[in-house]
Amino acid sequence: MLFPLAAQAQSFTPPMDQQIVFSGNFGEIRADHYHGGLDFKTGGTVGKVVRALADGYISRIQVNSGSGLVLTVTFPDGWSAAYRHLSAFMEPIASRVKAWQYEHQSWEMELRPQPDEYPVKAGEQIALSGNTGYSMGPHLHLDIFNPEGEYIDPLPFFIEKVRDRTAPKVEGFKIYAAPGEGMINGKQADKTVPLNAKEPIEVWGRIGVGIRAYDYMDGNHNKYGVKYVTLSVDSVEVFKSTVDRFAYEENRYINSWCDGQYMKSFIDPGNKLRMLEALNGQQGWITIDEERPYHLHYTLSDALDNTTEVDLVLQGKKQDISPLEVEKEDILHYDRRNVLQRPGLQLVVPRGALYTDVYLHYGLRDKDSLAYIYRLTDEAVKLHTGAELQIGLRTMPVADKSKYHIVRIGKDGRKSSVGGTFEDGFLKARILQLGTFTAEIDTVPPVIKPVEQQTWAKNGKVTLKADDRETGISSYTATIDGEWALLGKPNSVNNNLVLELDPEHVKKGIQHELVVTVTDGCGNKTTQRFKFIW
Ligand SMILES: [Zn+2]
Protein backbone atom coordinates (compact mmCIF):
# COMPACT_ATOMS: atom_id res chain seq x y z
CA MET A 1 0.00 0.00 0.00
CA LEU A 2 1.09 3.52 -0.78
CA PHE A 3 0.20 5.50 2.32
CA PRO A 4 1.15 5.19 5.97
CA LEU A 5 -2.46 5.42 7.12
CA ALA A 6 -3.46 2.62 4.76
CA ALA A 7 -2.14 0.16 7.32
CA GLN A 8 -4.94 1.36 9.60
CA ALA A 9 -7.50 1.33 6.80
CA GLN A 10 -9.25 -1.74 8.17
CA SER A 11 -10.14 0.30 11.21
CA PHE A 12 -11.55 3.16 9.09
CA THR A 13 -15.26 3.28 9.72
CA PRO A 14 -17.34 4.07 6.63
CA PRO A 15 -18.93 7.53 6.83
CA MET A 16 -22.42 6.14 6.21
CA ASP A 17 -24.40 3.10 7.35
CA GLN A 18 -25.80 1.88 4.02
CA GLN A 19 -24.00 -0.21 1.36
CA ILE A 20 -21.30 1.93 -0.23
CA VAL A 21 -22.27 3.16 -3.71
CA PHE A 22 -20.58 6.12 -5.33
CA SER A 23 -22.04 8.79 -7.58
CA GLY A 24 -18.53 10.14 -8.18
CA ASN A 25 -14.95 8.97 -7.61
CA PHE A 26 -11.58 10.56 -7.04
CA GLY A 27 -9.98 12.37 -9.97
CA GLU A 28 -13.01 12.66 -12.23
CA ILE A 29 -12.52 15.33 -14.86
CA ARG A 30 -14.49 18.45 -13.92
CA ALA A 31 -14.34 22.09 -15.03
CA ASP A 32 -10.88 23.43 -14.07
CA HIS A 33 -10.40 20.78 -11.36
CA TYR A 34 -10.22 17.13 -10.46
CA HIS A 35 -12.99 15.83 -8.27
CA GLY A 36 -11.06 15.73 -5.01
CA GLY A 37 -12.95 13.02 -3.16
CA LEU A 38 -15.61 10.33 -3.20
CA ASP A 39 -19.33 11.07 -3.60
CA PHE A 40 -21.37 8.59 -1.54
CA LYS A 41 -24.94 8.03 -2.68
CA THR A 42 -27.53 8.70 0.01
CA GLY A 43 -30.58 7.08 -1.58
CA GLY A 44 -31.79 10.30 -3.18
CA THR A 45 -32.62 11.91 0.17
CA VAL A 46 -30.97 14.20 2.68
CA GLY A 47 -30.66 13.69 6.44
CA LYS A 48 -28.70 10.41 6.51
CA VAL A 49 -26.39 9.87 9.49
CA VAL A 50 -22.74 10.83 8.79
CA ARG A 51 -20.05 9.25 10.94
CA ALA A 52 -16.43 9.92 11.93
CA LEU A 53 -13.97 7.62 10.10
CA ALA A 54 -11.68 7.28 13.11
CA ASP A 55 -10.92 8.85 16.47
CA GLY A 56 -9.97 12.51 16.14
CA TYR A 57 -11.45 15.97 16.58
CA ILE A 58 -13.52 18.43 14.59
CA SER A 59 -10.93 20.90 13.36
CA ARG A 60 -12.91 23.05 10.95
CA ILE A 61 -16.55 24.10 10.56
CA GLN A 62 -17.59 25.95 7.40
CA VAL A 63 -20.65 27.28 5.66
CA ASN A 64 -20.16 28.57 2.12
CA SER A 65 -21.83 28.55 -1.27
CA GLY A 66 -19.28 26.20 -2.85
CA SER A 67 -19.49 23.23 -0.46
CA GLY A 68 -22.47 24.17 1.71
CA LEU A 69 -22.14 22.92 5.28
CA VAL A 70 -18.69 21.36 5.76
CA LEU A 71 -17.02 19.58 8.66
CA THR A 72 -13.36 18.59 8.80
CA VAL A 73 -12.15 15.94 11.24
CA THR A 74 -8.42 15.74 11.99
CA PHE A 75 -6.92 12.43 13.11
CA PRO A 76 -4.04 12.15 15.57
CA ASP A 77 -1.47 11.34 12.85
CA GLY A 78 -2.18 14.57 10.92
CA TRP A 79 -4.45 13.05 8.29
CA SER A 80 -7.89 14.60 7.98
CA ALA A 81 -11.27 14.14 6.30
CA ALA A 82 -13.69 16.77 5.02
CA TYR A 83 -17.43 16.04 4.78
CA ARG A 84 -19.22 18.36 2.33
CA HIS A 85 -22.77 19.29 1.27
CA LEU A 86 -24.19 18.45 4.74
CA SER A 87 -27.75 19.40 5.68
CA ALA A 88 -27.12 19.89 9.41
CA PHE A 89 -24.47 19.97 12.12
CA MET A 90 -25.06 18.27 15.49
CA GLU A 91 -25.38 20.12 18.79
CA PRO A 92 -23.57 21.98 20.27
CA ILE A 93 -21.96 22.91 16.93
CA ALA A 94 -25.27 23.81 15.24
CA SER A 95 -26.08 26.45 17.90
CA ARG A 96 -22.54 27.81 17.87
CA VAL A 97 -22.64 28.24 14.08
CA LYS A 98 -25.95 30.09 14.24
CA ALA A 99 -24.73 32.36 17.03
CA TRP A 100 -21.58 33.14 15.02
CA GLN A 101 -23.63 33.96 11.91
CA TYR A 102 -25.87 36.42 13.81
CA GLU A 103 -22.95 37.97 15.67
CA HIS A 104 -20.93 38.52 12.48
CA GLN A 105 -24.03 39.13 10.32
CA SER A 106 -22.83 36.66 7.69
CA TRP A 107 -24.28 33.37 6.47
CA GLU A 108 -20.84 32.33 5.14
CA MET A 109 -18.64 31.33 8.04
CA GLU A 110 -15.60 29.40 9.18
CA LEU A 111 -14.41 28.25 12.60
CA ARG A 112 -11.28 26.32 13.52
CA PRO A 113 -11.92 24.70 16.91
CA GLN A 114 -9.08 23.55 19.19
CA PRO A 115 -8.34 19.80 19.49
CA ASP A 116 -9.99 19.58 22.95
CA GLU A 117 -13.27 21.27 21.94
CA TYR A 118 -15.02 18.62 19.84
CA PRO A 119 -13.26 15.25 20.13
CA VAL A 120 -14.95 12.45 18.14
CA LYS A 121 -14.77 8.66 18.28
CA ALA A 122 -14.68 6.34 15.26
CA GLY A 123 -18.24 5.76 14.10
CA GLU A 124 -19.72 8.63 16.12
CA GLN A 125 -22.47 10.59 14.37
CA ILE A 126 -21.09 14.01 13.47
CA ALA A 127 -23.65 15.45 11.00
CA LEU A 128 -26.51 14.76 8.60
CA SER A 129 -25.96 14.35 4.87
CA GLY A 130 -27.47 16.91 2.53
CA ASN A 131 -27.50 18.69 -0.80
CA THR A 132 -25.97 22.06 0.11
CA GLY A 133 -23.40 24.08 -1.83
CA TYR A 134 -22.58 23.23 -5.43
CA SER A 135 -24.45 19.92 -5.38
CA MET A 136 -26.62 18.44 -8.14
CA GLY A 137 -28.52 16.15 -5.79
CA PRO A 138 -28.35 14.60 -2.30
CA HIS A 139 -24.99 12.92 -1.60
CA LEU A 140 -22.06 12.98 0.80
CA HIS A 141 -18.74 14.21 -0.54
CA LEU A 142 -15.74 12.92 1.42
CA ASP A 143 -12.20 14.22 0.97
CA ILE A 144 -9.20 12.65 2.65
CA PHE A 145 -6.06 14.74 3.13
CA ASN A 146 -2.60 13.54 4.10
CA PRO A 147 -0.56 15.45 6.71
CA GLU A 148 0.79 17.68 3.90
CA GLY A 149 -2.79 18.70 3.06
CA GLU A 150 -2.84 16.92 -0.30
CA TYR A 151 -6.02 15.34 -1.65
CA ILE A 152 -5.66 11.55 -1.47
CA ASP A 153 -7.92 9.01 -3.16
CA PRO A 154 -10.13 7.79 -0.27
CA LEU A 155 -11.25 4.59 -2.03
CA PRO A 156 -8.37 2.35 -0.83
CA PHE A 157 -9.54 3.03 2.74
CA PHE A 158 -12.94 1.46 2.03
CA ILE A 159 -11.89 -1.07 -0.58
CA GLU A 160 -13.16 -4.12 1.33
CA LYS A 161 -16.65 -2.66 1.46
CA VAL A 162 -16.81 -1.78 -2.27
CA ARG A 163 -18.37 -4.20 -4.73
CA ASP A 164 -16.88 -3.76 -8.17
CA ARG A 165 -15.89 -6.19 -10.88
CA THR A 166 -16.47 -3.79 -13.78
CA ALA A 167 -13.43 -2.61 -15.73
CA PRO A 168 -13.05 0.81 -17.38
CA LYS A 169 -14.47 1.24 -20.90
CA VAL A 170 -12.77 3.12 -23.73
CA GLU A 171 -14.92 5.40 -25.90
CA GLY A 172 -12.34 6.73 -28.35
CA PHE A 173 -9.02 8.37 -29.07
CA LYS A 174 -7.70 11.71 -30.21
CA ILE A 175 -4.52 12.04 -32.24
CA TYR A 176 -2.47 15.24 -32.03
CA ALA A 177 0.06 16.62 -34.52
CA ALA A 178 2.77 18.72 -32.87
CA PRO A 179 2.55 22.23 -34.44
CA GLY A 180 5.12 22.44 -37.25
CA GLU A 181 6.43 18.94 -36.49
CA GLY A 182 3.72 16.37 -37.23
CA MET A 183 1.00 15.45 -39.73
CA ILE A 184 -2.17 13.33 -39.57
CA ASN A 185 -3.81 12.17 -42.84
CA GLY A 186 -2.19 15.04 -44.74
CA LYS A 187 -3.23 17.74 -42.27
CA GLN A 188 -1.74 19.45 -39.30
CA ALA A 189 -4.92 19.21 -37.23
CA ASP A 190 -5.99 17.06 -34.29
CA LYS A 191 -8.20 14.12 -35.18
CA THR A 192 -10.68 12.15 -33.09
CA VAL A 193 -10.72 8.41 -33.77
CA PRO A 194 -13.48 6.02 -32.64
CA LEU A 195 -12.69 2.76 -30.90
CA ASN A 196 -12.06 0.02 -33.51
CA ALA A 197 -11.76 2.54 -36.34
CA LYS A 198 -11.82 0.92 -39.81
CA GLU A 199 -10.04 3.72 -41.70
CA PRO A 200 -6.24 3.68 -41.39
CA ILE A 201 -4.72 6.76 -39.74
CA GLU A 202 -1.62 7.90 -41.58
CA VAL A 203 0.79 9.87 -39.45
CA TRP A 204 4.25 11.35 -39.76
CA GLY A 205 6.60 13.27 -37.48
CA ARG A 206 5.81 14.16 -33.87
CA ILE A 207 2.47 12.70 -32.79
CA GLY A 208 0.60 12.64 -29.48
CA VAL A 209 -2.36 10.48 -28.45
CA GLY A 210 -5.23 11.00 -26.01
CA ILE A 211 -7.90 8.59 -24.79
CA ARG A 212 -11.50 9.07 -23.64
CA ALA A 213 -12.49 6.42 -21.14
CA TYR A 214 -14.58 6.00 -18.01
CA ASP A 215 -14.68 3.53 -15.19
CA TYR A 216 -17.92 1.88 -14.05
CA MET A 217 -18.96 -0.01 -10.95
CA ASP A 218 -21.32 -2.93 -10.45
CA GLY A 219 -25.02 -2.26 -10.22
CA ASN A 220 -25.32 1.33 -11.45
CA HIS A 221 -24.79 3.46 -14.52
CA ASN A 222 -22.55 6.18 -13.09
CA LYS A 223 -19.40 7.09 -14.96
CA TYR A 224 -16.19 7.43 -12.98
CA GLY A 225 -12.67 8.63 -13.64
CA VAL A 226 -10.03 6.04 -14.57
CA LYS A 227 -7.35 5.54 -11.94
CA TYR A 228 -4.55 3.98 -13.99
CA VAL A 229 -3.77 4.51 -17.69
CA THR A 230 -0.65 3.15 -19.41
CA LEU A 231 0.30 3.61 -23.06
CA SER A 232 2.91 1.53 -24.79
CA VAL A 233 4.11 1.83 -28.37
CA ASP A 234 5.48 -1.35 -29.99
CA SER A 235 5.57 -2.92 -26.50
CA VAL A 236 7.60 -0.08 -24.94
CA GLU A 237 5.86 1.93 -22.21
CA VAL A 238 5.78 5.64 -23.04
CA PHE A 239 3.26 7.15 -20.63
CA LYS A 240 1.50 6.40 -17.36
CA SER A 241 -1.08 8.24 -15.26
CA THR A 242 -1.92 7.32 -11.69
CA VAL A 243 -4.76 9.36 -10.30
CA ASP A 244 -4.11 8.98 -6.59
CA ARG A 245 -3.19 12.36 -5.09
CA PHE A 246 -2.76 16.03 -5.87
CA ALA A 247 -2.06 19.26 -4.05
CA TYR A 248 -4.60 22.07 -4.28
CA GLU A 249 -2.17 24.11 -6.43
CA GLU A 250 -2.02 21.24 -8.94
CA ASN A 251 -5.75 21.21 -9.57
CA ARG A 252 -5.78 23.45 -12.65
CA TYR A 253 -3.20 21.22 -14.41
CA ILE A 254 -6.28 19.27 -15.45
CA ASN A 255 -6.63 21.94 -18.15
CA SER A 256 -3.30 20.82 -19.56
CA TRP A 257 -3.63 17.07 -19.16
CA CYS A 258 -7.23 16.86 -20.35
CA ASP A 259 -8.55 18.14 -23.63
CA GLY A 260 -12.25 18.15 -22.84
CA GLN A 261 -12.85 14.53 -21.78
CA TYR A 262 -9.71 13.21 -23.51
CA MET A 263 -6.82 12.32 -21.22
CA LYS A 264 -3.65 13.10 -23.13
CA SER A 265 -0.86 10.53 -23.05
CA PHE A 266 1.80 13.19 -23.44
CA ILE A 267 2.78 15.95 -21.05
CA ASP A 268 2.89 19.66 -21.86
CA PRO A 269 6.26 21.16 -20.86
CA GLY A 270 4.62 23.50 -18.31
CA ASN A 271 2.57 20.75 -16.68
CA LYS A 272 4.07 19.70 -13.32
CA LEU A 273 1.24 17.38 -12.29
CA ARG A 274 2.85 14.54 -10.33
CA MET A 275 0.17 12.02 -11.30
CA LEU A 276 1.60 11.90 -14.85
CA GLU A 277 4.77 10.14 -15.90
CA ALA A 278 6.40 10.03 -19.33
CA LEU A 279 8.80 7.15 -19.85
CA ASN A 280 10.19 7.72 -23.35
CA GLY A 281 12.33 10.84 -22.92
CA GLN A 282 9.93 12.74 -25.20
CA GLN A 283 7.25 13.63 -22.66
CA GLY A 284 5.05 10.92 -24.19
CA TRP A 285 5.16 12.33 -27.73
CA ILE A 286 5.81 9.64 -30.34
CA THR A 287 8.21 10.06 -33.27
CA ILE A 288 6.89 8.43 -36.44
CA ASP A 289 9.76 8.26 -38.92
CA GLU A 290 9.33 4.85 -40.56
CA GLU A 291 6.75 3.76 -43.12
CA ARG A 292 5.25 0.92 -41.10
CA PRO A 293 2.39 0.28 -38.66
CA TYR A 294 2.99 1.51 -35.08
CA HIS A 295 1.17 -0.61 -32.51
CA LEU A 296 -0.22 1.40 -29.61
CA HIS A 297 -1.56 -0.48 -26.61
CA TYR A 298 -3.52 1.02 -23.73
CA THR A 299 -4.04 -0.62 -20.34
CA LEU A 300 -6.65 0.95 -18.06
CA SER A 301 -7.38 -0.22 -14.52
CA ASP A 302 -9.48 0.85 -11.57
CA ALA A 303 -8.57 0.81 -7.86
CA LEU A 304 -9.73 -2.82 -7.59
CA ASP A 305 -7.52 -3.93 -10.48
CA ASN A 306 -10.35 -4.49 -12.99
CA THR A 307 -8.47 -4.01 -16.26
CA THR A 308 -9.24 -3.20 -19.90
CA GLU A 309 -6.75 -3.42 -22.78
CA VAL A 310 -7.24 -1.78 -26.16
CA ASP A 311 -5.14 -1.44 -29.31
CA LEU A 312 -4.75 1.38 -31.77
CA VAL A 313 -2.67 1.14 -34.95
CA LEU A 314 -1.13 4.25 -36.52
CA GLN A 315 0.29 3.84 -40.00
CA GLY A 316 3.62 5.61 -40.53
CA LYS A 317 3.34 7.32 -43.94
CA LYS A 318 5.70 9.98 -45.21
CA GLN A 319 3.96 13.37 -45.61
CA ASP A 320 5.30 16.89 -46.12
CA ILE A 321 5.16 18.60 -42.76
CA SER A 322 3.54 22.03 -42.95
CA PRO A 323 5.80 24.61 -41.34
CA LEU A 324 4.46 26.67 -38.48
CA GLU A 325 3.27 30.00 -39.81
CA VAL A 326 3.35 32.36 -36.89
CA GLU A 327 5.08 35.71 -36.36
CA LYS A 328 7.69 35.76 -33.62
CA GLU A 329 5.83 38.43 -31.67
CA ASP A 330 2.66 36.28 -31.68
CA ILE A 331 4.29 33.49 -29.65
CA LEU A 332 3.77 33.40 -25.89
CA HIS A 333 6.49 31.24 -24.35
CA TYR A 334 5.60 28.86 -21.54
CA ASP A 335 9.02 29.18 -19.87
CA ARG A 336 9.13 32.94 -19.41
CA ARG A 337 7.14 36.06 -18.58
CA ASN A 338 5.37 37.42 -21.65
CA VAL A 339 4.30 41.02 -22.20
CA LEU A 340 2.09 41.79 -25.18
CA GLN A 341 1.49 45.41 -26.07
CA ARG A 342 -0.93 46.50 -28.77
CA PRO A 343 -2.86 49.76 -29.26
CA GLY A 344 -5.13 50.08 -26.24
CA LEU A 345 -4.14 46.66 -24.86
CA GLN A 346 -1.55 45.22 -22.52
CA LEU A 347 -1.31 41.58 -21.50
CA VAL A 348 1.15 40.31 -18.90
CA VAL A 349 1.36 36.51 -18.65
CA PRO A 350 3.64 35.53 -15.77
CA ARG A 351 6.04 32.62 -15.96
CA GLY A 352 4.24 29.45 -14.87
CA ALA A 353 0.87 30.51 -16.29
CA LEU A 354 1.18 28.64 -19.60
CA TYR A 355 1.38 24.87 -20.08
CA THR A 356 2.97 25.11 -23.49
CA ASP A 357 3.85 27.81 -26.04
CA VAL A 358 0.74 29.61 -27.25
CA TYR A 359 0.38 30.95 -30.79
CA LEU A 360 -1.76 34.07 -30.78
CA HIS A 361 -4.17 34.82 -33.56
CA TYR A 362 -4.33 38.49 -32.78
CA GLY A 363 -7.11 40.57 -34.28
CA LEU A 364 -8.85 43.81 -33.52
CA ARG A 365 -12.42 44.76 -34.32
CA ASP A 366 -14.29 48.01 -33.88
CA LYS A 367 -17.41 47.43 -31.86
CA ASP A 368 -18.55 50.85 -30.72
CA SER A 369 -16.87 53.88 -29.24
CA LEU A 370 -16.18 52.31 -25.83
CA ALA A 371 -13.34 49.86 -26.61
CA TYR A 372 -12.09 47.60 -29.38
CA ILE A 373 -12.78 43.89 -29.41
CA TYR A 374 -9.40 42.15 -29.01
CA ARG A 375 -8.98 38.58 -30.22
CA LEU A 376 -5.91 36.99 -28.64
CA THR A 377 -6.67 33.35 -29.48
CA ASP A 378 -9.52 31.67 -31.40
CA GLU A 379 -10.07 28.97 -28.79
CA ALA A 380 -10.10 29.53 -25.05
CA VAL A 381 -6.60 28.82 -23.69
CA LYS A 382 -6.70 28.08 -19.97
CA LEU A 383 -3.98 29.56 -17.78
CA HIS A 384 -2.56 27.94 -14.65
CA THR A 385 -2.29 31.24 -12.77
CA GLY A 386 -3.88 34.57 -13.58
CA ALA A 387 -2.62 36.93 -16.26
CA GLU A 388 -3.13 40.68 -16.14
CA LEU A 389 -5.15 42.18 -18.97
CA GLN A 390 -5.53 45.92 -19.54
CA ILE A 391 -7.93 47.36 -22.08
CA GLY A 392 -8.02 51.08 -22.88
CA LEU A 393 -11.33 52.93 -22.91
CA ARG A 394 -11.76 55.14 -26.00
CA THR A 395 -14.55 57.21 -24.45
CA MET A 396 -16.21 57.30 -21.07
CA PRO A 397 -19.94 57.92 -21.54
CA VAL A 398 -20.58 57.18 -17.86
CA ALA A 399 -18.66 59.24 -15.28
CA ASP A 400 -18.69 56.56 -12.56
CA LYS A 401 -15.51 54.53 -13.16
CA SER A 402 -16.81 51.54 -11.23
CA LYS A 403 -19.39 50.81 -13.93
CA TYR A 404 -16.85 49.58 -16.50
CA HIS A 405 -15.79 45.95 -16.71
CA ILE A 406 -13.95 43.59 -19.07
CA VAL A 407 -15.89 40.80 -20.77
CA ARG A 408 -14.67 37.66 -22.45
CA ILE A 409 -16.58 36.78 -25.61
CA GLY A 410 -16.95 33.05 -26.17
CA LYS A 411 -16.93 31.33 -29.56
CA ASP A 412 -20.72 31.23 -29.40
CA GLY A 413 -20.78 35.00 -28.86
CA ARG A 414 -21.72 34.65 -25.18
CA LYS A 415 -20.21 37.24 -22.92
CA SER A 416 -18.91 36.66 -19.42
CA SER A 417 -17.61 39.41 -17.20
CA VAL A 418 -14.11 39.09 -15.75
CA GLY A 419 -14.57 42.24 -13.66
CA GLY A 420 -11.90 44.90 -13.66
CA THR A 421 -10.85 48.12 -12.01
CA PHE A 422 -10.23 51.41 -13.75
CA GLU A 423 -6.83 53.11 -13.61
CA ASP A 424 -5.29 55.81 -15.84
CA GLY A 425 -7.59 55.28 -18.80
CA PHE A 426 -7.27 51.49 -18.65
CA LEU A 427 -9.49 48.77 -17.29
CA LYS A 428 -7.41 46.15 -15.54
CA ALA A 429 -8.54 42.58 -14.79
CA ARG A 430 -7.05 39.24 -13.87
CA ILE A 431 -7.93 36.59 -16.42
CA LEU A 432 -7.67 32.80 -16.13
CA GLN A 433 -7.96 32.07 -19.83
CA LEU A 434 -7.00 33.67 -23.12
CA GLY A 435 -9.61 34.31 -25.78
CA THR A 436 -11.45 37.40 -27.06
CA PHE A 437 -12.03 40.40 -24.83
CA THR A 438 -13.58 43.87 -24.78
CA ALA A 439 -14.89 46.43 -22.29
CA GLU A 440 -18.50 47.08 -21.37
CA ILE A 441 -20.60 49.18 -19.03
CA ASP A 442 -22.94 47.79 -16.40
CA THR A 443 -25.42 50.29 -14.96
CA VAL A 444 -28.28 47.79 -14.79
CA PRO A 445 -29.09 46.73 -11.21
CA PRO A 446 -29.89 43.10 -10.32
CA VAL A 447 -33.42 41.70 -10.32
CA ILE A 448 -34.91 40.08 -7.20
CA LYS A 449 -37.89 37.75 -7.59
CA PRO A 450 -39.87 35.97 -4.88
CA VAL A 451 -40.10 32.21 -5.38
CA GLU A 452 -43.53 30.70 -4.51
CA GLN A 453 -44.37 33.48 -2.03
CA GLN A 454 -47.70 31.77 -1.17
CA THR A 455 -45.69 28.92 0.46
CA TRP A 456 -43.45 31.09 2.65
CA ALA A 457 -45.74 31.04 5.72
CA LYS A 458 -46.66 27.38 5.39
CA ASN A 459 -43.02 26.24 5.02
CA GLY A 460 -41.57 28.80 7.44
CA LYS A 461 -39.07 29.62 4.72
CA VAL A 462 -38.57 32.60 2.43
CA THR A 463 -37.13 31.84 -1.02
CA LEU A 464 -35.90 34.45 -3.49
CA LYS A 465 -34.02 34.50 -6.75
CA ALA A 466 -31.54 37.25 -7.54
CA ASP A 467 -30.09 37.63 -11.02
CA ASP A 468 -27.78 40.02 -12.78
CA ARG A 469 -27.13 39.41 -16.43
CA GLU A 470 -24.07 41.63 -16.89
CA THR A 471 -21.69 41.18 -13.96
CA GLY A 472 -23.46 38.75 -11.61
CA ILE A 473 -24.44 39.03 -7.94
CA SER A 474 -21.49 40.00 -5.73
CA SER A 475 -23.33 40.35 -2.39
CA TYR A 476 -26.72 40.19 -0.73
CA THR A 477 -28.12 41.23 2.63
CA ALA A 478 -31.54 41.28 4.27
CA THR A 479 -33.41 42.50 7.34
CA ILE A 480 -36.67 41.20 8.75
CA ASP A 481 -38.69 43.64 10.87
CA GLY A 482 -35.60 45.86 10.98
CA GLU A 483 -33.24 43.15 12.33
CA TRP A 484 -30.43 41.44 10.36
CA ALA A 485 -31.76 38.27 8.76
CA LEU A 486 -29.85 34.99 8.15
CA LEU A 487 -30.40 34.94 4.39
CA GLY A 488 -28.13 32.38 2.73
CA LYS A 489 -27.52 30.45 -0.46
CA PRO A 490 -27.94 26.81 0.64
CA ASN A 491 -27.66 25.36 -2.86
CA SER A 492 -25.60 27.19 -5.46
CA VAL A 493 -26.90 25.04 -8.34
CA ASN A 494 -30.48 26.34 -8.01
CA ASN A 495 -28.91 29.58 -6.74
CA ASN A 496 -31.89 30.47 -4.52
CA LEU A 497 -31.50 32.83 -1.58
CA VAL A 498 -33.23 31.24 1.41
CA LEU A 499 -34.22 32.54 4.85
CA GLU A 500 -35.42 29.94 7.36
CA LEU A 501 -37.88 31.73 9.64
CA ASP A 502 -36.59 31.19 13.16
CA PRO A 503 -38.95 31.83 16.11
CA GLU A 504 -35.88 32.80 18.19
CA HIS A 505 -35.44 35.83 15.95
CA VAL A 506 -38.81 36.44 14.29
CA LYS A 507 -42.03 36.86 16.26
CA LYS A 508 -44.71 34.43 15.06
CA GLY A 509 -48.32 35.27 14.13
CA ILE A 510 -47.84 38.80 12.81
CA GLN A 511 -47.12 40.56 9.54
CA HIS A 512 -43.42 40.89 8.71
CA GLU A 513 -41.47 43.20 6.50
CA LEU A 514 -38.49 41.67 4.71
CA VAL A 515 -36.06 44.10 3.05
CA VAL A 516 -33.54 42.53 0.67
CA THR A 517 -30.62 44.35 -0.98
CA VAL A 518 -28.59 42.74 -3.75
CA THR A 519 -25.45 44.23 -5.34
CA ASP A 520 -23.84 43.30 -8.68
CA GLY A 521 -20.20 43.24 -9.77
CA CYS A 522 -20.25 46.95 -10.73
CA GLY A 523 -21.88 48.11 -7.49
CA ASN A 524 -25.43 48.50 -8.84
CA LYS A 525 -27.91 47.83 -6.05
CA THR A 526 -31.53 46.70 -5.92
CA THR A 527 -33.56 46.89 -2.71
CA GLN A 528 -36.93 45.21 -2.51
CA ARG A 529 -39.54 44.91 0.26
CA PHE A 530 -41.82 41.95 0.87
CA LYS A 531 -44.74 41.85 3.32
CA PHE A 532 -46.07 38.51 4.56
CA ILE A 533 -47.77 36.98 7.60
CA TRP A 534 -46.15 34.07 9.49
ZN1 LIG B 1 -18.19 15.45 -4.76
Is the separation of the CB atoms in 22 and 38 below 8 Å?
Answer: yes
With b meaning 16 or more CB within 10 Å and e meaning fewer, what string describes 125-160? Answer: ebbbbbbbbebeebbbbbbbbbeeebbbbbbbbbee
3-state class (DSSP) for residue 369: coil
Range scoring the smallest mean pLDDT among 6-10, 504-508, 512-516? 6-10
Distance 276 CA to ligand 1 centre (A): 22
Cα of 54 vs centre of ligand 1, distance in Å, is 21
Helix ranges (H only) for 335-455 are none
In this model, does residue 301 exceed pLDDT 70?
yes
**Average per-residue pLDDT for the chain:** 95
Judge whether 135 and 68 are in contact, CB under 8 Å.
yes
State in Å: Cα 95 to ligand 1 middle: 26
Q: Look at residue 5 and give its three-state secondary structure.
A: helix
Neighbours of ion ligand 1 (CB under 5 A): 39, 141
pLDDT digits (tens, 9 = 90+) for 328-337: 999 999 999 9
- Residue 40 CA to ligand 1 centre (angstroms): 8
Please, which pLDDT band fits residue 366 given cuts at 50, 70 and 90?
confident
Beta strands 381-392 and 426-434: pairing type? antiparallel
* Distance from the alpha carbon of residue 302 to the mean position of ligand 1, in angstroms: 18
Dist CA 417 CA 438 (whole Å): 10
Banded model confidence at residue 369, pLDDT cuts 50, 70, 90: confident
pLDDT value at position 2?
Answer: 42
Q: For 104-111, what is the mean pLDDT?
A: 98
Q: How many A from CA of 39 to the centre of ligand 1? A: 5
Asked whether residue 227 carries a pLDDT value surpassing 90, the answer given is: yes
User: What local confidence, expressed as pLDDT, does residue 405 receive?
Assistant: 97
Strands (E) in 234-330, as ranges, are: 236-242, 245-246, 258-259, 262-264, 276-278, 286-288, 293-301, 307-316
Mean pLDDT computed over 447-471: 96
The residue type at 23:
S
* Torsion sign (Cα): 188, 189, 190, 192: negative
The residue-averaged pLDDT of 22-32 equals: 94
Q: 133: Cβ–Cβ under 8 A, 6 or more apart, which residues?
A: 64, 65, 66, 67, 68, 69, 70, 84, 85, 490, 491, 492
- 129-173 confidence digits (pLDDT tens): 999 999 999 999 999 999 999 999 999 999 988 989 999 999 999
SS3 content of the chain, % helix, strand, coil (to 5): 10, 45, 45
| CB-CB contact of 167 with 224 (8 Å) | no
CA of 35 to the centre of ligand 1 (A): 6
pLDDT (mean) for 332-353: 97
Would you place residue 35 in the very low, low, confident or very high pLDDT band (cuts 50, 70, 90)? very high
Query: Which helix or strand (DSSP H or E) is residue 449 part of?
Result: strand 447-450
pLDDT in tens, 51-63: 999 999 999 999 9
Q: What's the 464 CA to ligand 1 centre distance in angstroms?
A: 26
pLDDT at 382 over 90: yes
User: Which distant-in-sequence residues (6+ apart) come within 8 Å of 8 by Cβ?
Assistant: 54
Alpha carbon of 403 to ligand 1 centroid (Å): 37
Size of the chain in residues: 534
DSSP string for 19-87: PP-EEE-TT-EETTEE--SEEEE-TT-S--EEE-SSSEEEEEEEEETTTEEEEEEE-TTS-EEEEEEES
Confidence at 43, pLDDT banded by 50, 70, 90: very high
**Which of 256, 201, 209 lies closest to 230 in space, CA to CA?**
209
Q: How far is the CA of 26 from the centre of ligand 1 (A)?
A: 9
Give pLDDT, residue 11.
Answer: 60
The alpha carbon of 136 and the centre of ligand 1 are apart by a number of angstroms equal to 10
